[in-house]
Amino acid sequence: MAAPAEKRGPEAAPMYESAEKIYPREIGGRFANLSRLATTVLLGLYYVVPWLTWDDRQAILFDLPARKFYLLGLILWPQDFPYLAMLLILAALSLFFFTALGGRLWCGFACPQTVWTEAFIWMEQWTEGTRSQRMKLDKAPWSLDKLRRKASKQLLWVTFSLWTGFTFVGYFTPIRQFGLDILAANVGGWTLFWSLFYSFATYGNAGYMREQVCKYMCPYARFQSAMFDKDTLIISYDAKRGEPRGGRKRSADPKALGLGDCIDCTLCVQVCPTGIDIRKGLQYECIACAACIDACDSVMDRMNYPRGLVRYTTEHAMSGESTHVLRPRIFVYATLLTILIGALITSMATRTPVILDVIRDRNALYRELPGGLIENAYTLKIINQSDHPRDFTLSVAGIPGIVLDGVEGKVTVAGGGVRALPVRARAKRDAVQGVAAITFTAVATDDERVARTEDSRFVGPMSR
Amino acid sequence: MTIAVIQEEYRGARKWSRNRQAVATVVWISFLSAAIATMLFFALFDPVELMDAFDIDIGRQGGYALGFFFFWMLSALSSGVTAWLVRTAPKRGQRRD
């Protein structure tokens, strides 16, 4: 959209910059291991969870076609929407809390973008080899070997993406049935569409866009600095110790040469996936992947210098002051989180697993019956939110002598089921004038605490 | 380089042009907004009941998809026009041609 106008603009930029391909190194070390672990655990959870069962059904299923969410033993309905809203607020607050405390731990180790990118890089390494092999491969003319390597990378990527898309849809529609449908080549249009959509997004984001998403497209990356203070954990280069930087022999004494501990090997820059130089200070592009820490530690080890020239630290610690973990900001976030979690748990624990919807018949205001009776028609919708069948008794109140017609005795509603009942309420003509407020009540026969009362209106003639 | 490193290439790790940044950001942020809007909207309204009112029938999942793409289109339009207006606005002190 902006392209044509921009081209005519004074600072016309070409549509595609002739970009220099960056080949960051990957380096082993403590944080690389941690990130491998995080990726394995998180991806493992993602791919395994839809296959877990609970009471002969999928344990976690956001069944959109049926408008029901199954969370282990819990069944949530559209009416339980406040829980969803609370969960979202909870997630946002947790992100604030952990950002204030630990900086961009989320970015470096838990963000789906990071995690899937990591997995895609593994596949790239298995098929195309190390950095130098890959650089050589890209420069080399097409050969059988190049074709084989590139093709097997694409095969792995595409297969993995498709499986990811399949799993994603498996959270929203029963995955076993979906799998069988695929095998039988009998897949509904939308399920197929969404699984391909998600596959494609995974392929593009983790295979090609990678850290560009963090740099240019992620709002969190831009606003996380607002949650930072001088006590937040950051990755930082110890300039006091490192400067003046410069090359030297391993045997040389840096003090005699007037040098700091940084040997200016630029390894920290080479490993950075976003291409920044951590020695220039904290930059918003830094996703806190800690690759530079691993790189620098390995160099320090070789030089027999102490580790930690680049390390996790805080601004306060860097300037020689003490770091306060417990500070007002942390208390505020923690208090809000505690209150919200408490409220969520309480409301979930005390939730009555029945919902009663009362819909007044819109076609007729009222009907006059012989014998001086007025009748109003309603549709009662009873939703049994537990996962076993239940019997309910229905009643109406609010006008002296009002009775319910159309329900004989108990009403059985299947577990997780909805039952719609057309009913009529009748009252004596002299008991009602104009509009009166009435209430309908549904009570479970096996447990009278499982009850819901809903308000409605009863309409009668204006004059007696 | 004396340090043993497992190395790899980042095909995508390049600097994006401003236009590419703008397009990607608009598409992505409007996608996120649309996801939130779809979630909120369909938590409150059942597409099947809405479709009854408009006398169309594409099924509940079709309704979700239609809603999602409608929200995506709408928010992309809004983001896109906003980005375009902000970027093409005359800057203070800039000579006009």
Mean pLDDT of A275-280: 86
Most confident of A6-10, A256-260, A450-454: A450-454
3-state SS track over B25-56: HHHHHHHHHHHHHHHHHHHHCCHHHHHHHHCC
Mean pLDDT of A313-337: 87
pLDDT band at residue A16 under the 50/70/90 scheme: very low
For residue B90, whether the previous peptide bond is cis, meaning omega lies within 30 degrees of 0, is no
pLDDT for residue B94? 62
Q: With CB atoms and an 8 Å threshold, state whether A124 touches B8.
A: yes
pLDDT of A18 > 60? The answer is no
Contact status of A285 with chain B (Cβ, < 8 Å): no
pLDDT of A228 > 60? The answer is yes
Q: With CB atoms and an 8 Å threshold, state whether A217 touches B25.
A: yes
Structurally, what CATH architecture does the domain formed by A354-459 represent?
Sandwich (2.60)
Domain boundaries defined on chain B: 31-88
- State the helix-helix crossing angle for A175-183 and A144-170, rounded to 10 degrees: 130
Contact status of B28 with chain A (Cβ, < 8 Å): yes
Residue extent(s) of CATH 2.60.40.10 domains in chain A = 354-459
Contacts of B84 in chain A (CB under 8 A): 1-2, 5
Q: What angle do CA A267, B16, A151 make, to 5 degrees?
A: 75
pLDDT of A20 > 50? The answer is no
Mean pLDDT of A128-140: 83
pLDDT band at residue A358 under the 50/70/90 scheme: very high
Nearest to A216 among B13, B16, B80 (CB): B16
Nearest to A211 among B1, B13, B94 (CB): B13
pLDDT of B6 > 70? The answer is no
pLDDT for residue A2? 37
Contacts of A26 in chain B (CB under 8 A): 5-8
pLDDT of A3 > 60? The answer is no
- Per-residue b or e along A95-111, where b marks 16 or more CB atoms closer than 10 Å to that residue's CB: bbbbbbbbbbbbbbbbb
Higher pLDDT, A299 or A274: A299
Higher pLDDT, A224 or A299: A299
Contact status of B7 with chain A (Cβ, < 8 Å): yes
The 10s digit of each residue's pLDDT in A59-77 is: 999 988 888 888 887 888 8
The 10s digit of each residue's pLDDT in A191-214 is: 899 999 999 999 999 988 888 888
The 10s digit of each residue's pLDDT in B40-57 is: 898 888 888 888 877 777
The 10s digit of each residue's pLDDT in A35-48 is: 899 999 999 999 99
